[in-house]
Amino acid sequence: MTHTKQQMTRVRGTVTALSAAAFLATLAAPAASAHSAHAGHHASSARIPFTQAVVTAAATPGTYEITWKAPGTRHVTVKANGRTVASGGSTGKVKVTGLPAHVDRQWFDLTPDHGRGLRLADRLVKLDGAVNFRDAGGYRTTDGHWVKMGEIYRSDALDKLTGADLAKLKRLGIDTDFDLRMASERSAAPDRVPSGTSYVVADVLAGQDTGTTLPTTEAAAVAMMTEGEKFMVSGASAKSAYQKVFGGIADGDSVLFHCTAGKDRTGWANAALLTALGVPRETVMADYLASNDYRAEANAAALASMPPEQAKVYKPLLDVRAEYLNSGFDEVRKTFGSFDAYERQGLGLSKSELRDLKRDLLV
């Protein structure tokens, strides 16, 4: 994701709510298989005692940190590749080293002394040609279910994926790639997807591809992003696009959805999915804001290429901020009255489809 000062300095104009996507378009020029990720989904109906659990890959290959909270349990065993690699009590934080360095994803099985266990991996799927490709799952709902990992993925642009990246994605078993980008973005940077993966255009801003009109003040940039978020909720093309995506998910497919930076159009798609599944708002927000971490290096490089005053104006376009996502949820209430109504009218999910969605994606 690179651009020049000359590109930035020649862009001027009035603010529109939809031009941030066009701006981003100018910047964008396993040992455990997907099948194994599904293993154990129907093995037990016992309650999962974990209230928190996360796997984080360290900078050193083959090293991971696993943390958990499982109130009411006495002992938790952590296994990787069929062998015990750590254990602890009801609350644990362990560092595991010496695991294979070159695997698609390193999965861990967290097994409590009673109740059902969890199968987790680091949320980020490391690729050479994308920086924000991650699993949508691994989160707990308000009623104690967990969103399965290895089912739904979100990403930034896919045009720079390498042959090794494509091989890795094929092994993940992704059925359908939903491209949320505008026609100009798709033309300039066509997706690369594995053979056998269906490609579907789900253009959130269809018909809004009118060029790059950018803000001239920091406040105008923030306003652009909040207004753009509202359009993702109530805009006609946005509703049509997200209905395609959620239709694919409801059909039980293993789905990938993405835009250019993987943070705005993609961010709302994942926020809506997690909310529909019952994940609490603070968790949804944390997942949304994580794009700032995954995109930190790319964003810093983009801003470093601009004069300081210009960088100040454009930084809000590269960020994700709580006020952006909150403006989307505010638009849901204003336009639809409730998120339940948005599920039906905005995402096109019937009650039976929502039940199926939860049955397929929750454990």
Alpha-carbon distance 113 to 76, whole Å? 6
Q: Is 31 exposed, middle or buried (0-12, 13-18, 19+ CB in 10 A)?
A: middle
Q: Do residues 291 and 132 touch, judged by C-beta distance below 8 A?
A: yes
Q: What is the 3-state secondary structure (H, E, C) of the chain?
A: CCCCHHHHHCCCCCCCCCHHHHHHHHHCCCCCCHHHHHCCCCCCCCCCCCCEEEEEECCCCCCEEEEEECCCCCCEEEEECCEEEEEECCEEEEEECCCCCCCCCCCEEEEECCCCCEEECCCECCCCCCCCCEECCCCECCCCCEECCCCEEEECCCCCCCHHHHHHHHHHCCCEEEECCCHHHHHHCCCCCCCCCEEEECCCCCCCCCCCCCCCCHHHHHHHHHHHHHHHHHCHHHHHHHHHHHHHHHCCCCEEEECCCCCCHHHHHHHHHHHHHCCCHHHHHHHHHHHHHHCHHHHHHHHHCCCHHHHHHHHHHHCCCHHHHHHHHHHHHHHHCCHHHHHHHCCCCCHHHHHHHHHHHEC
Q: In whole angstroms, how large is the CA radius of gyration of the chain?
A: 21
Considering only CA atoms, which of 324, 317, 267 is closest in space to residue 3? 317
Q: Catalytic residue, from 32, 70, 147, 259: name it.
A: 259
- Residue 310 bears catalytic tag: no
Catalytic residues: 259
